[in-house]
Amino acid sequence: MLTFIVIGTVGVYFVQNNQNVSKNDNTKIAKITKKTSKTPKKEKTVTEKRTPEEEQTFIDRAAQAFGQQDSQTIQKYVGSMYSSAYIDGLGMTYTWKTTDAKYIRVDNTDNGITSVYLYDDNAENHLGKNLYQGETIKQMAPRDTYNQ
């Protein structure tokens, strides 16, 4: 009976020592993973303002892009990007507001000419400075899927 007590005591002693060793190993692993998980901080970038000449060039190019877009695509996005109205004597008008300017496009249905103006609240029909004028593109060009 005495041998069973001695064997039991020795067994309990070894089990407790093994648990302490495994606890120490887990803490070492946790410390190692914490050291490798650091990431460098990102730097903030400062955007430079455009000069007045660059701003005017940007407005002119945006007006040209708006004027050269086909009517079919513009009508597809009326309500989300553009708003539209028909004005007697002018034709179909579309307005487009960007962060830099507000444009009004006039598609003259009589002569097939598209003009893009800066939007002016005080002018008649809100037509400000004329920025672009060209032929009205009514429909997207068909895609050639054979010669790619």
Give the separation between CA 116 and CA 127, rounded to whole angstroms. Answer: 9
* Domain boundaries of the chain, sorted by first residue: 70-135
Whether residue 114 contacts residue 107, with contact meaning beta carbons closer than 8 Å, is answered with: yes
Percentage of the chain with pLDDT > 90? Answer: 40
Look at residue 91 in the predicted model and tell me its pLDDT. Answer: 92
The predicted model scores a pTM of 0.62
Burial 29-45 (b: 16+ CB within 10 A, else e): eeeeeeeeeeeeeeeee
Per-residue pLDDT tens over the stretch 51-92 = 889 999 999 999 999 999 999 999 999 988 899 999 888 899
Q: Which residue has the higher pLDDT, 103 or 7?
A: 103
Give the separation between CA 128 and CA 121, rounded to whole angstroms. Answer: 8
Count CB neighbours of 2 within 10 A.
6
Per-residue pLDDT tens over the stretch 1-43 = 656 565 656 565 655 655 554 444 555 555 555 555 556 666 6
Whether residue 133 contacts residue 117, with contact meaning beta carbons closer than 8 Å, is answered with: no
